[in-house]
């Protein structure tokens, strides 16, 4: 997810792009049913009927990847919902319809996922926290249990395991995101309470590491100092720069947000791309290292402001989800700018493309 900001707010607000709005329409892609058979995802509800978010849907190169932490498996689907690959427990029964490849692995907790151009699958495998650790945690929104990255080929066979140094000796801790660039180099964005570390791997070798949290994001405004807090780090698809989204505060009051470009080759902040005064406009993603998507969610409405790297607004995009009583909804964009969403009803997950 990539963003850049520059202090040209007045120009942005009154440019002609500010008033152009494109309303996207939904197109049904497929439906994934609740269940244990291949091609299904297990949905779990608690005693109060609240959905447990134990699954995740990922889109890449006209394929759908489904993470299922109830059944401890990953599945690859064609866009019509036909399953092609299952990586998981040996309890999985082969599909009666055939055409599905099975590969067996005993996952712990499946986290982030990324796919490269060779269809290799990079998977965060997080180890469950001990009962003592879970009791001692004050905040439950971040789980610092150790993780490794597992790398599977397109047939589902495990190729190797990655840790912080490339070898699987030192695990990652909280992984915020993993991405693959154009050269199939893996990036891992990992953080703790006071660090934001970015690792880059070419095959099994780590060739770059930086703790962006060591950069002092502080700005003087008159007699006041605004303290910057990193919110998000995204990776340029060329793999040579990072997008760093920083929110600035005066004491506890939000002032503005900036998105910076960090040059890996130059080993430092290259420029501030754009300044954003509106706290609702948050970095969503970047497309082909050319466009930034900032988003604002208001109930069933999702609005994207699409900017170039000069801070000019190219378009405003509006998506309205149907007013149905759904248990969970999520939206994402692939690297080509295709926008998808998935919506959980009682016993199924409906998937849409927006265009």
pLDDT tens profile 286-344? 998 989 999 999 888 999 999 998 888 899 999 999 888 789 999 999 888 899 999 99
Where is 278: in which H helix or E strand? none
- 98 pLDDT band (50/70/90 cuts)? confident
**Residue 34 DSSP one-character state:** B
Do the beta carbons of residue 255 and residue 264 sit within 8 Å? Answer: no
Which of the four pLDDT bands, split at 50, 70 and 90, describes residue 92?
Answer: low
**Pair 143, 130: CB distance under 8 Å:** no
pLDDT single digits (tens) 164-215: 999 888 999 899 999 999 999 999 999 988 899 999 999 999 999 999 999 9
Mean of the per-residue pLDDT values of the chain: 88
CA 355 – CA 344 distance, rounded (Å): 21
The pTM is what? 0.88
DSSP line for 217-267: -EEEETTEEEEEEEEEEEE-TTSSEEEEEEEEEETTEEEEEEEEEEETTTT
CA distance 293 to 305: 6
Tally the C-alpha atoms within 13 A of residue 166's C-alpha that lie toward its C-beta.
11
pLDDT for 5-50, tens place per residue? 332 233 333 344 455 899 999 999 999 999 999 999 999 999 988 9
Please give the pLDDT value at position 130: 54
Interval 124-136 mean pLDDT: 65
Both tokens of residue 155?
């047939």
Instruction: Give the N- to C-terminal CA distance of the chain in Å, as an integer.
Output: 20
Locus of tokens 């427990």 = 89
Distance CA 315, CA 313 (A): 6
Whether pLDDT at 138 is above 50: no
Give the whole-number percent of the chain exceeding pLDDT 90: 74
Residue-level pLDDT at 233: 96
């Amino acid at each position: 997810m990539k963003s850049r900001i520059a202090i040209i707010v007045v120009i942005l607000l009154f440019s002609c792009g500010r008033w152009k709005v494109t309303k996207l329409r939904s197109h049904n892609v497929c439906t994934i049913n609740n269940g244990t058979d291949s091609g299904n995802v297990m949905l779990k509800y608690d005693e109060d009927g609240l959905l447990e978010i134990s699954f995740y849907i990922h889109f890449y190169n006209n394929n759908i990847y489904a993470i299922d932490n109830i059944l401890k498996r990953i599945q690859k689907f064609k866009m019509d919902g036909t399953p092609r690959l299952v990586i998981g427990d040996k309890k999985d029964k082969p599909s009666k319809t055939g055409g599905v490849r099975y590969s067996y692995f005993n996952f712990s907790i499946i986290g982030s996922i990324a796919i490269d151009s060779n269809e290799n699958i990079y998977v965060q495998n997080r180890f469950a926290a001990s009962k003592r650790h879970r009791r001692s945690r004050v905040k439950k929104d971040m789980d610092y249990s150790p993780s490794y990255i597992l790398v599977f080929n397109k047939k589902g066979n495990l190729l190797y395991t990655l840790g912080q140094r490339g070898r699987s000796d030192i695990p990652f801790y909280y992984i915020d995101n993993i991405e693959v660039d154009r050269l199939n180099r893996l990036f891992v964005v990992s953080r703790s309470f006071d660090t934001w570390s970015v690792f880059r791997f070419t095959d099994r070798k780590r060739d770059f590491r930086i703790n962006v949290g060591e950069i002092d994001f502080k700005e003087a405004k008159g007699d006041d100092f605004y303290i910057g807090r990193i919110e998000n780090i995204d990776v340029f698809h060329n793999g040579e720069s990072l997008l760093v989204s920083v929110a600035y505060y005066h004491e506890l009051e939000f002032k503005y947000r900036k998105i910076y470009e960090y040059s890996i080759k130059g080993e430092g902040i290259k420029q501030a791309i754009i300044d954003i005064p509106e706290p609702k406009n948050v970095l969503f993603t970047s497309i082909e290292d050319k466009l930034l998507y900032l988003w604002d969610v208001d109930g069933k409405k999702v609005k994207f402001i699409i900017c170039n790297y000069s801070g000019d607004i190219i378009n405003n995009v509006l998506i309205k989800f149907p007013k149905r009583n759904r248990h969970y909804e999520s939206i994402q964009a692939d690297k080509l700018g295709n926008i998808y969403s998935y919506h959980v009803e009682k016993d199924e997950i409906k998937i849409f493309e927006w265009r």
